[in-house]
Chains A and B, each alone.
Chain A
Amino acid sequence: MMSNSNEHFLERLRERFSGKLLDAHLHWGQITLELMPENLLEICLALREEKEFAFDQLSDVCGVDYLDYGKVDWETRDTTSTGFSRGVTEGVFGKEAITFPARFASVYHLLSLKHNRRLRLRCFIPSDPPKLSSVVDIWASANWFEREAFDLFGILFEGHPDLRRILTDYGFIGHPFRKDFPLEGNVEVRYDPDQKRVIYQPVTIENRVLVPRVIRDA
């Protein structure tokens, strides 16, 4: 795959889906199309059906939560008297305001075996709760990927035949990969010798951030 042909292909995509894309760009030799939920199904169907695209396989669906994007524990440009102290407290500093059209996005990676080409679609989901159409009727492999994104991020896929949790425990509460879900979780399990069964209780451990998150412009 030459970069020249990638640029050409990007132009072609812009032309074909003009007015329906928020953005289309090429970085590291990979093309990304950004779009809004209302155009998702139409664009996906065209990408699979039309011969010049022929994206016949969906490699991956990935939920993303952009809540903390660009935020760091430690201001590296100026000296501060607050912020990271002895690896225990987290201070949150913003870099520049990086705005996204929505907090949640669903990212699709498509593969065309015929043209040996890959494509990334990013669909921002502005609604609350995040909701968008399922692509399971277009690519059957979306089934479990969408269940995973629902489980971990709480993204609701309309038209999904069986939107159940997949990776977390039976009866789990919350969506663990959201940025506002604590790393150590909310509950822990242990065996209770008095009740003679396994019980849930609030977590007893405290998260210690040992390495602060920093952004340095080299």
Chain B
Amino acid sequence: MDLKELESLIRLFDSLSLSELALKQGDFELNLKKEKQRTQDLGMIPAMVRESTNNTAEPSTDDNQTSGHIVKAPMVGVFYEAPSPKSPPFIKIGDQIAKGQVLCIIEAMKMINEVVSPVSGVVKEIFIANGELVEYDTPLIEIEVTGV
């Protein structure tokens, strides 16, 4: 096995969810081991966004008592603002939205995930463009909360 093959093998091993790999080729022996799971398992949806119900608004100079709630990506995937390219977006800035309303879609591995609003309020900001890939916990949408 030459260096290039070895390098590509190690990279492959690293990308897989394997914890150990042993290889024997003639008198060549290789053992690869991975430290316990990476900090975040990409493959699971239910995220630890529990704290997101807390008020994440930055200390603002706003005088009014409304608070901004940041909806963060519950998983990695592609952000979609509408159910299909021909449909109008689920929400736009300034829209009044109700708790339980669909805000956007995140798609990964052809699983379409509707992100449902945890609060009622007004859409203040949409941080992501349609079709963009988002990482877990990326801020997606800010909602000025008027009710929970």
Do these two chains interact?
A: no
| Chain A contacts to B: CB under 8 angstroms | none
